């Protein structure tokens, strides 16, 4: 039997996650818990959080603070800030990690792949040439080479 070690996952598995929206609960926890909750940025109408199940190192989620599930429910200010912050986060990644490209997108509805369909969010996935290797095909696993806390600290320092 092959083993993949991910001891940091035990911290997440052991937590009580409740039944509410994961995004809303992270915001309600308060800014003093942002590092623990991987909340990277709080704006007027949107916030940025690291995806705790990343497709790649540095996978970010940009979401409105207001609990809305569809793009048509956003007001003009939310739309503008959502895209502006998405753009800033792409720039932050370029400065910090020098990716070769990005996947940026929104999954609207469960059938479209939305893991949290009740709270709209934009995915920012940095990509590097060669980051898609044999592991997902042969082992049905992804290799994430850096712990979330390290990624958070690097991005937070670059924001200052």
Q: Is 21 contained in some domain?
A: yes
Q: Is 105 contained in some domain?
A: yes
Q: Is 10 contained in some domain?
A: no
Strands of the sheet with 60-64, listed across from one edge: 39-42, 46-50, 60-64, 122-127, 101-105
At 138, the pLDDT band (50, 70, 90 cuts) reads very low
Q: Backbone phi, then psi, for 107, in 5-degree steps?
A: -105, 110
- Model-level pTM? 0.82
Q: Is 96 contained in some domain?
A: yes
Q: List, in sequence order, every residue forming a beta bridge with 101; answer none if it has no partner.
A: 127
Give the pLDDT confidence of 70-101 residue by residue, as tens digits. Answer: 999 999 999 999 999 999 999 999 999 999 99
Predicted pLDDT of residue 54: 87
Q: Is 77 contained in some domain?
A: yes
Q: Is the pLDDT of residue 136 over 90?
A: no
Among the listed residues 38, 119, 121, 123, the single catalytic one is 121
Q: What is the count of structural domains for the chain?
A: 1
Give the pLDDT confidence of 23-57 residue by residue, as tens digits. Answer: 999 999 999 999 999 999 999 999 999 999 888 88
Q: Is 33 contained in some domain?
A: yes
121 carries an active-site annotation: yes
Q: Which domain holds residue 104?
A: 17-159
17 versus 89: the higher-pLDDT residue is 89
H-assigned helices in 4-147: 9-13, 22-28, 34-37, 76-97, 134
Q: Is 3 contained in some domain?
A: no
Read off the tokens for 135.
């592991």
Predicted pLDDT of residue 132: 66
Q: What is the CATH number of the domain that holds 70?
A: 3.30.428.10
Predicted pLDDT of residue 5: 60
- Alpha carbons 157 and 160: distance in angstroms, whole number: 5
Q: Is 91 contained in some domain?
A: yes
């Amino acid at each position: 039997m092959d083993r993949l070690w991910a001891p940091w996952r035990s911290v997440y598995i052991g937590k009580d996650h409740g039944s509410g929206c994961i995004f809303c609960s992270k915001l309600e926890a308060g800014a003093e818990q942002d590092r623990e909750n991987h909340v990277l940025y709080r704006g007027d109408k949107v916030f940025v959080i690291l995806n705790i199940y990343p497709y790649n190192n540095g996978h970010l989620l940009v979401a409105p603070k207001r609990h809305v599930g569809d793009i048509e429910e956003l007001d003009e200010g939310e739309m503008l800030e959502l895209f502006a912050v998405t753009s800033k986060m792409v720039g932050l990644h370029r400065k910090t990690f020098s990716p070769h490209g990005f996947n940026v997108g929104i999954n609207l509805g469960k059938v479209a792949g939305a893991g949290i369909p009740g709270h709209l969010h934009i995915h920012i996935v940095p990509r590097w040439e060669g980051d898609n290797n044999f592991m997902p095909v042969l082992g049905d696993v992804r290799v994430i080479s850096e712990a979330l806390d390290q990624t958070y600290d690097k991005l937070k320092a670059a924001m200052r």
